[in-house]
Chains A and B, each alone.
Chain A
């Protein structure tokens, strides 16, 4: 009889290690996000020392939402190789879905208040007609469009935040991937999608108030008496939580064999087919899940912005998104976060009049005009000289360790 060596001891190198142990950047990210959230809370007007204005809290909260859509973009582009130039359409749809409820429910409360002062209580029909007249007066209509039927229901509109972007991505992706549209043609197709959607929403008879968009979204129905300094913190926390959860989800998705397969699709999709993987199914999965997360990011963003209109989902927005991810560093989630935070904060500083103009004697650099030039040059420079982006700098830090 020979001594049989058990298989498990024959393969010690393959002992499965924990997800966090394999991905130390996730712990780092969570820690930094936590510290940042606590710091902003302590410094805020609503809950702390008041060193950070409510307006700045909103900007920071919105930036966290932009970071969330940026990591979604990184998964779809940096990991799976699909250069989608239409993900802001999903972001906008999420914003519209929650905006409909915010606007409807708030108007309804106001209407009930004013109608309720009469001696006869108003009927439901009267309330609904008055709400419609109030919301759609601006586009010369007083009828509630069909898509607003359930706008008074928060659970329904929350479901729409996920379902509308998800279904659009599913149908669009199914048509595009099934026909094996790839590369620049796919990018153009996604641009066409977001352009078409934006033009469609610009029309008054779409039922979403045309170019006026939805406004007053910062006022949360039922919480009219809570000051914005408090509400802004609620949304800030929600955005930080969503970013953390999204980061964890995507880090898990791209870490295992699934990540291996989608990176392989990025590098050589024909080869992956011959390994027996249904490439189209994977692309559709990634496209749809990132669209859903983008929708959630939008639903958190627009109540902080206060207003959404069709210009938000113009093609240029999605191109900016690609620029953020490229500058931050593709194929690494923290790179996308860095790129989105850095570029969007810099943009609001320079275009918001925060940065001093530079007088060169003969010539004056006015940042509001020159910001786009700077961004363009930055993008070209990163693409040419630092293809790994800002996030690539971390490689040097990590490599120093034994």
Chain B
């Protein structure tokens, strides 16, 4: 397992509020990592920084074997390097079919001219069907994404994430609004994805994290409070204070 993403000494301030405070965190490839923390701990801001949406005031974000400085790149360039992101609120393109949503995410050339000339190859079509099967949407390929249930939208977004074939998946609350059976399926999906990639999951639900059975990072006030197995961090007095005390 080699380090894929290394965030070191990152700080960001919004109107005097320190959302991220000297945060250092690293993830290897392949690895499954859960990130937990109370509201306002900086989980989403952390993802914003890694994906290029927010520029930190200081610190470094290094990517891959050649330690590319991600802070120099735009959102789309970072996505093309292999960082995929799933949002807390499922954001699929509701006006378009499940197939079109997946086709858009499929790893292909992204320039306007190549996309204009793009023709679905048999390989692309098969990959879309394969992905739809994986996320349980085979029957819904031609339906518009807007009529899917909340859980199905979550899965479609996970499917789109997999279609991008990223090296690092940042997944924000994938199990929100899902039934227990759906959660189990989601856990399996993420675990399978993490066999060959780095997967970072932000989640509140402890049961869900227990099932992921992976290393856990606890964020608090924009910095890492504790890191280790779930049992290890839940025994940590500081973590207990943050979550239960005060």
Contacts and interface: CB of A to CB of B under 8 A. Distances in A.
A260 B85 contact: no
Interface stretch (B1-9, B121-129, B189-197, B233-241): B121-129
A261 B117 CA distance: 13
A395 to B, nearest CB: 14
A274 interface: yes
A201 to B, nearest CB: 32
Nearest to B118: A257
A200 interface: no
Contact of A256 (B76, B80, B87, B118): B118
A258 B115 contact: yes
B122 A271 contact: no
B112 A282 contact: yes
A11 B96 contact: no
Given A14-B122, A14-B125, A260 B103 contact: yes
B181 interface: no
B96 A263 contact: yes
A267 B80 CA distance: 21
How big is the A interface, by class?
A: 20 to 34
A114 interface: no
B79 A268 contact: no
A260 B74 contact: no
Interface in B120-161: 120, 122-123, 125-126, 128-129, 141, 160
B116 A258 contact: yes
A187 B40 CA distance: 36
B245 interface: no
Nearest to A6: B122
Contacts of A256: 115-116, 118
A8 B122 contact: yes
Contact of B122 (A7, A268, A279): A7
B51 A274 contact: yes
A153 interface: no
Nearest to A284: B112
Contacts of B120: 14, 16
A276 interface: yes
B115 A261 contact: yes
Contacts of A8: 122
Contacts of B160: 275
Contacts of B95: 263, 267
Contacts of B205: none
Interface in A260-274: 260-261, 263-264, 267-268, 270-271, 273-274
B104 interface: yes
How big is the B interface, by class?
A: 35 or more
Given A14-B122, A276-B110, A257 B103 contact: yes
B217 interface: no
Interface in A263-303: 263-264, 267-268, 270-271, 273-279, 281-282, 285
A279 B110 CA distance: 10
B119 interface: yes
Contacts, number: 92
Given A263-B93, A263-B95, A276 B76 contact: yes
Contacts of B104: 257, 260-261, 264, 275
Most chain B CB within 10 A, of A11, A267, A275, A281, is at A275
A226 interface: no
Contacts of A258: 112, 115-116, 118
Given A274-B51, A275-B104, A277-B110, A268 B129 contact: no
Nearest to B84: A274
B164 A275 contact: yes
Contacts of B93: 260, 263-264, 267-268, 271
B115 A264 contact: no
Interface string A10-34: 1101101000000000000000000
Contacts of A261: 104, 115
B129 A14 contact: yes
B126 A276 contact: no
Contacts of B84: 274
A285 B110 CA distance: 13
Contacts of B125: 11, 14
B96 A264 contact: yes
B227 interface: no
Nearest to A266: B95
A260 B103 CA distance: 9
B180 interface: no
B46 to A, nearest CB: 15
Given A16-B120, A276-B110, A278-B76, A7 B164 contact: no
A52 interface: no
Contacts of A111: none
A158 interface: no
A340 B105 CA distance: 36
A278 B87 CA distance: 19
Contact of A14 (B87, B105, B112, B128): B128
15 contacts: A11-B122, A14-B125, A258-B116, A260-B93, A260-B100, A263-B93, A267-B94, A268-B91, A271-B91, A273-B75, A273-B76, A276-B80, A277-B115, A278-B74, A278-B112
Given A257-B104, A274-B51, 12 more contacts: A7-B126, A11-B122, A14-B120, A256-B116, A257-B103, A258-B112, A260-B104, A267-B94, A270-B53, A274-B85, A275-B104, A276-B77
